[in-house]
Amino acid sequence: VLPACLLLALLLLAPALSAQHERGLIFNLEIGELCLQSAQCKSGCCHRVNGLSLARCAPKAAEFQECSPKSIYGVYYKCPCERGLTCDADKSIVGSITNSDFGLCKDPQD
């Protein structure tokens, strides 16, 4: 038997997940809309300017722009790179804790 809260979550998420290409209130958010997790954004990046600002969906970083490596937190100070690019950044634990793990998007083929 499923716990009541899990069943409720499944019932609430089912319509949003079934409409993958339609804009929703929780998922498929456009650039500039408020978000809590990158998974909510069409772009795949939920970005905040600083620790006190609200997070909004933003485009992924292009080549030679500042970036963050993919994170488990789901909200970024610098967006991850566009598809096909890699973020050349400090990927150490210290970098992620001190929020200094920013780098530049680069084409791995270069």
Q: What is the DSSP letter of 18?
A: H
Q: Is 82 in contact with 61 (CB distance < 8 Å)?
A: yes
> For residues 15 and 43, what is the distance between their CA atoms, to the nearest angstrom?
20
Q: Is 89 in contact with 67 (CB distance < 8 Å)?
A: yes
φ, ψ for residue 39, nearest 5 deg: -65, -20
Read off the pLDDT band of 13 (50, 70, 90): low
Spell out the domains of the chain, with CATH numbers in brackets.
25-106 (2.10.80.10)
| Average pLDDT for the chain | 81
> For residues 2 and 82, what is the distance between their CA atoms, to the nearest angstrom?
39
User: Is the pTM higher than 0.85?
Assistant: no
